[in-house]
Amino acid sequence: MAVLGIFGTETENVASSIYYGLYALQHRGQASCGIVVNDDGVFHAYKDSGLVGEVFTKPVLKSLGLGQMAVGNVRYGTSSTKDRINAEPIVVNHSKGKMAISLDGKLVNSAQLKNEMELQGSIFHTGNDAEIISAVIIRERINSASIEEAVSKAMKKLKGAYSLIVMSPQKLIAVRDEHGMKPLCYGQRNSGEYVVSSETCALNAVGATVIREVEKGEILVFTKEGIRSIKDHCDKAEERLCVFEYLYTARPDSVLCGCSVHEARKRAGAYLAKAHPVAADVVIGAPDSGLDAAIGYSIESGIPYGIGLIKNKYIGRTFIDPGQTAREDKVRIKLNPVAETVRGKRVVLVDDSIVRGTTCARVVKLLRDAGALEIHIRSSAPAFLNPCYYGTDISSRESLIACNHTVEEIARIFGADSVGYLPLEDVFKLGVGGTCTGYCAACFDGNYPTEEPSVVANDTRFTKKISENK
């Protein structure tokens, strides 16, 4: 998921700017997208299932009109929340006005909050956490002097990983959870508008210069009078940026905590080459997230780098595609081997991660059919051993291949000659030189920065007790 917001004081085509920014963030979510334009307090919204270019045709963008600020979202859907109704941003009307909210992340106490509010008469229409967060903010807004005060009060009740952009008729508010698990930054264009984004690549796409990242627990309020920072929650918890941002989620041209994602992935490949060396003729990467790590592996090992797989650019990311069948179908048309690179050679295939094993088994067969003599799979991430409760669609251990098989067994299942994972200790070194002081790697080591999700009877989002997934 990704969030994007623009705040200005002049009336302009902000919908177009959001559109281009969301294009740059498409890698973070391909199930649905949405834009809300604020024209002097009048909200014009459109959202639907599909990619940015499919949903926002020229007539749709024109219908959004002009405005001074806007907020957008791209979202991937879990198997139960991929319908249009779950698309964001969410727009709500309340007794003190209206609000649009865009979320990247997931709460661990969403079921509890939803149950409490339903018992008090609230009605929910979607299956996403943005609606729950909006309900909490609105309840606080009724007895607060400002929307930012309501947001600050709401943060005391929200547990989990989240970056938010909240838009009221007069203000744009950027919010980051107390651990800083999800990235969020902002910049400014030459024409004066401020832009808030999940990643720096979107700031570049709309012509904004990066100013800085939103701090963990910080609330930034953009108004006509300027920017105000509220830091009441900044020292409440240790920093725990999701390390998977460096490994997979973020675009390689983005910068997180002062560290280039591209360089972090090259570093992962170098660590991988040291930990799992092998005699081979060529190193190739699984497009796109494995390419940077493959370059790092090649440089460290001295084995030549080659283009061994071509990706169909019109196929989305299979890791975040809901449903095993959908993932398998897309893998079939997503990749094609370059036979000239691998034929008659011992190949090191570097992938960004091995989660369910869907892609790896298929790719090994493709490379074998193209004439590869040996195939050695190297994962630039450690083995996935635990569910993620913070927005990555890994809900149980049962779907994780490393939980059920040894490395040797995984190699046999894939038809590979060997498999090697990035050592756990190396994953915490990827952002070296940057400003981050701590990472969440719970999907690898089980060290969750928050409590695990609360399960409420009759809540269908958690069909199994958490204890069964340990």
pLDDT in tens, 160-189: 999 999 999 999 999 999 999 999 999 999
- Which two structure tokens, joined as six digits, stand for 393? 């669609």
394, pLDDT greater than 80: no
- Region 411-436 average pLDDT: 96
Say if strands 282-285 and 346-351 run parallel, antiparallel, or are unpaired. Answer: parallel
Is 2-240 a CATH 2.60.120.620 domain?
no
Q: What is the dihedral of CA 291, 296, 298, 301, to 10 degrees?
A: -150
Range list for CATH 3.40.50.2020 in the chain: 262-439
Least confident of 293-307, 331-345, 363-377: 331-345
Q: What is the C-alpha radius of gyration for the chain, rounded to an integer number of angstroms?
A: 22
Tell me the C-alpha distance between 165 and 173, whole Å. 6
Q: Where residue 468 falls among pLDDT bands split at 50, 70, 90?
A: very low
Under 8 Å between Cβ of 63 and 93 = no
Neighbours of 468 (CB within 10 A): 10
Residue type, position 372, single letter: A
Report CA torsion sign: 409, 414, 418, 423: negative
What would be the CATH architecture of the domain defined by 262-439?
3-Layer(aba) Sandwich (3.40)
pLDDT tens readout for residues 100-135: 999 999 999 999 999 999 999 889 999 899 999 999
- Region 367-394 average pLDDT: 94
- Region 314-323 average pLDDT: 54
Tell if the pTM clears 0.95, that is, is over it. Answer: no
Least confident of 248-257, 311-320, 448-457: 311-320
Under 8 Å between Cβ of 354 and 414 = no
User: Could you identify the residue written with the tokens 């048309």?
Assistant: 333
Range list for CATH 3.60.20.10 in the chain: 2-240
Q: Where residue 464 falls among pLDDT bands split at 50, 70, 90?
A: very low
Look at residue 397 in the predicted model and tell me its pLDDT: 86
152: three-class secondary structure by DSSP: helix
Under 8 Å between Cβ of 352 and 247 = yes
Under 8 Å between Cβ of 367 and 396 = no
Please, what is the Cα angle at 331 between 327 and 337, to 5 degrees? 165
pLDDT tens readout for residues 236-249: 999 999 999 999 99
pLDDT tens readout for residues 207-264: 999 999 999 999 999 999 999 999 999 999 999 999 999 999 999 999 999 999 999 9
Under 8 Å between Cβ of 248 and 266 = no
What is the chain's mean pLDDT, rounded? 91
Q: Is 155 left (phi over 0), alpha (psi -120 to 50) or beta?
A: alpha
Least confident of 32-41, 299-308, 382-391: 382-391
